[in-house]
Structures are given as structure tokens and as C-alpha cells.
Amino acid sequence: MKILVLNCGSSSIKYQFIDVDKCYVLSKGMVSRIGMSGAVLVHKPHDRPEVTISGEMLDHIQAIEHVIAMLLSPNHGVIRDKSEIEAVGHRVVHGGERFPHSVLIDQEVMQVLRSCIQLAPLHNPHNIRGINACKQILAGVPQVAVFDTAFHQKMPPYAYIYGIPYVLYKRYGIRRYGFHGPSHFYVSHRAAKMMNRPIERLKMITCHLGNGASMAAIKGGISVDTSMGFTPLEGLLMGTRSGDLDPAIILHIMAREELSLHEANTLLNKHSGLQGISGISGDMRDIIGEAQKGNSFAQLALDVYCYRIRKYIGAYAAVLGGVDALIFTAGIGENSSLIRKKSCENLEFLGLKIDEQKNQKASSKQAMEIQSEDSKTKVFCIPTNEELVIALETKRVIREAKEKQKMLKGV
């Protein structure tokens, strides 16, 4: 089964076209600057060089039309006919409590998705735009929504309830949801496979360290706690997001600086984190580069970043009652030996020790173990593969829907 996996943002779309039965990526790419002047599509077929085109792409419909034209292109394409796209799997950021698992998209689902917009106003509207565009361009092709939040929906109430009046949870759904679900799911399963042990018996801590960053405590394959909360702002320090913060600080700054809600939101989401502390950049490569040159603000940002990861490792080891495996993934987790090393400092009391030579060798090219011989806890660096999880989920949901239909027809 060939599945188009889409991750639609406000002005960008990342895509992969996957033969899910072979777990093989036929082509992948990204459209950026949608709705701006000079939109760009970078497309990489599995067996030919990357190609870049630019032009006007006014909205998601035009962008997805260009992607499909690329898939069909005699020079750069991988299919002869549109009908070879058998399904579309969408990354949808927020599924609220209504969607604890992936769903086949129909009118009713769309209505609920629209009601989830208020939970993720920065993400869900663009995901919905992508779904509507596909409905128009690929009429009749089944579409499945795979939620960032779904993997964390089995958390116990004491992990997801905040210390505010309970009525606000009931009224507005204010609780911890957690994000990056497909990534935490993928790397935990991959690590269990590498350990040759059933995931049901393992206690794991996963660290998804990208531009957005979150950690999860995973017991027996179930996420029992995670660092992102009601929104993707809570938890670890991120590129431009603050992570954990005394809530009174926001009220204080809003009053002192006379900020509007919108301005406060922008401050916490776009001008905080590594960017905010260093005043240099939200990109970890820049921060490491400047810290190495002796910039004390970059060094402080780096120290805060790793200290907070270490703090969560300790907390989650307590939550799990021990830890069999610690896993690093995503842009920073896969590529920075320095961040992995600093985040694991002084954790020997947990039986966790990194082998620096192995750590240096690890990268986003392959999954590997990086703990020392005498470390009781395994430490992994595993390239994430959220798109594969979305494709596999899409196939599963469509197969189940077909079986249900057959049963109803009495076939």
C-alpha cells in the first residue's frame, strides 16, 4: 500500500510517499513559503538526485497539487497515475480527549477536529487546511488523522491534572495532553527491538530534542508522563519556547510591560528558550558554536538546557521506579554528542553511564547504543521516524474500517 504522509504547517508542508508494506520511502520533500512570494518545493526521489522548484503557491491546495505533480513527473516522479496514492496520512497535532487513537477522516471527525482548534490554535488550523486540500485534489482517497497527543492519552489522572480548580478541566479540557506521540512511540519500540526484550516489560525515558522538545516516561509501552502539557510550551527549554515557568511570572511581565495576550504568547513561544537566554539564536548549532568561542550567554543557555533534561531524567526515573533505557532522538538528540553527554552527567547513581567514544560516533544516520560496558541502563541514540508511524497507523485504520464494513454487510 502506498501512502502519502503530510505534515502541514502554516506556510510549509513536509511530505513522504511511503510504500508501507516494504517500509520504504519512495520520495520525500518539503514545500516552504506557501502564500509568500517565491514558494519553494524541494523533492527527493529515492533513486535520483534532489530537485528544487520555485514559483507561486498561494495556498495549501496549490502546494499539494505541486507535490502530486512531482510524484507523477516523468523525470523526478515515482508513480504513473494518481490512483497509486492509496491513502493520505496526516499529522494532526491536537486530538484532545476525543481522539485517543488515529481515525479515518469523515464529516463528523472534521467537526470534532474543528472544535479542537481552540486547544491548538497555532497548529490544528493548518492540519485541517491540508485535509481539506486533499479532499479536493484526491477526491475519494481515504484520509487518516494521526494525533501527536494520542500516545499520551493513557496517562493516569494524577499525571495529567493540574493544580487549578477541577471545574476548569471539565469546562475547557485544561489538562496535560503531551505531544510528539509518534516519535516517542517509534523510538521506544525501536529500542525494545534492539534490546531484544518485550516492550511490556521495559521502563524507558525518551528525549525528543528538536526545535520543539519533550520527554516521556514510558512503562510497558505506555506513556505514563510527559513534559509537554496543555500546549507544546511546557517542559524542557526549547529553541524559542520557555518550557517550565512559574505561572505568576507571566502575569507579572504582562502587568509591568503592559503586554496584550497576543504579545505575551509571542514572547513565550518565539522569543524565549535558547533564543531568549542567549540573545543569539534558537538554533542549537549556533548556541554550541558561540559557547565554544566563550560567549557566556550561549554557555548559560546550554547549561539550562541540559540541566533541565537531567532534572526530568531524575523525575521520570522516580515515576517509573527505575529505568532500563534512555533514548535520545530528533535534530539535537541525534546529532549533538555534547548535549547527550551533558544531559547524562552525574547520573551514575541511576546506573547510567555513557561511553564517550560510542557517543561521539552516534548520529542521525543509524540507531546505536552509547552506554558504557558497566552501565546498568542502556542509552540509545535513535533517528526518529514519525512518518513511518503515521503511514503504518494509516494502513491499520483503513484495514480496520474495511473489516468493519464487511462485517456490517455480513460478507
Least gap, CB of 330 to ligand AMP (angstroms): 4
Asked if 299 touches ligand AMP (CB under 6 A), the answer is no
Least gap, CB of 259 to ligand AMP (angstroms): 26
**Residue nearer to ligand AMP on the CB measure, 78 or 191:** 191
Size of the site for ligand AMP (CB under 6 A): 12
Cell of 292: 565554544
* Closest to 11 (Cα-Cα) out of 90, 132, 122, 85: 122
**Residue nearer to ligand AMP on the CB measure, 113 or 362:** 362
Q: Alpha-carbon distance 118 to 227, whole Å?
A: 21
Cβ atoms of 223 and 184 within 8 Å: the answer is: yes
Least gap, CB of 281 to ligand AMP (angstroms): 8
Least gap, CB of 357 to ligand AMP (angstroms): 18
Q: Where would I find the H helices in 57-180?
A: 60-72, 107-115, 124-137, 157-160, 166-172
**Residue nearer to ligand AMP on the CB measure, 288 or 325:** 288
Q: Alpha-carbon distance 398 to 249, whole Å?
A: 47
The active-site residue, picked from 148, 244, 246, 303, is 148
Cβ atoms of 179 and 124 within 8 Å: the answer is: no
* Closest to 24 (Cα-Cα) out of 43, 5, 39: 5
Asked if 210 touches ligand AMP (CB under 6 A), the answer is yes
**Residue nearer to ligand AMP on the CB measure, 29 or 210:** 210
- Binding pattern for the stretch 310-349 against ligand AMP, x by CB under 6 A and - elsewhere: --------------------xxx--xx-------------
**Residue nearer to ligand AMP on the CB measure, 89 or 383:** 383
**Where do we find the cell 529500542?**
191
Least gap, CB of 272 to ligand AMP (angstroms): 14
Cell of 96: 484532545
Cβ atoms of 62 and 118 within 8 Å: the answer is: no
Asked if 239 touches ligand AMP (CB under 6 A), the answer is yes
**Where do we find the cell 541511576?**
350
- Binding pattern for the stretch 254-293 against ligand AMP, x by CB under 6 A and - elsewhere: -----------------------------xxx--x-----
**Residue nearer to ligand AMP on the CB measure, 202 or 233:** 233
Give the sheet arrangement for strand 103-104, strand by strand: 51-55, 39-45, 24-32, 13-19, 2-8, 87-92, 143-147, 103-104
Least gap, CB of 336 to ligand AMP (angstroms): 4
Where in 162-201 is the site for ligand AMP (CB under 6 A)? none
Asked if 361 touches ligand AMP (CB under 6 A), the answer is no
Size of the chain, expressed as the number of residues it contains: 411
Cβ atoms of 204 and 325 within 8 Å: the answer is: yes
Cβ atoms of 380 and 194 within 8 Å: the answer is: yes
324 noted as active-site residue = no
Active site residues: 148
Using CB under 6 A, list all residues that contact ligand AMP.
210-211, 239, 283-285, 288, 330-332, 335-336
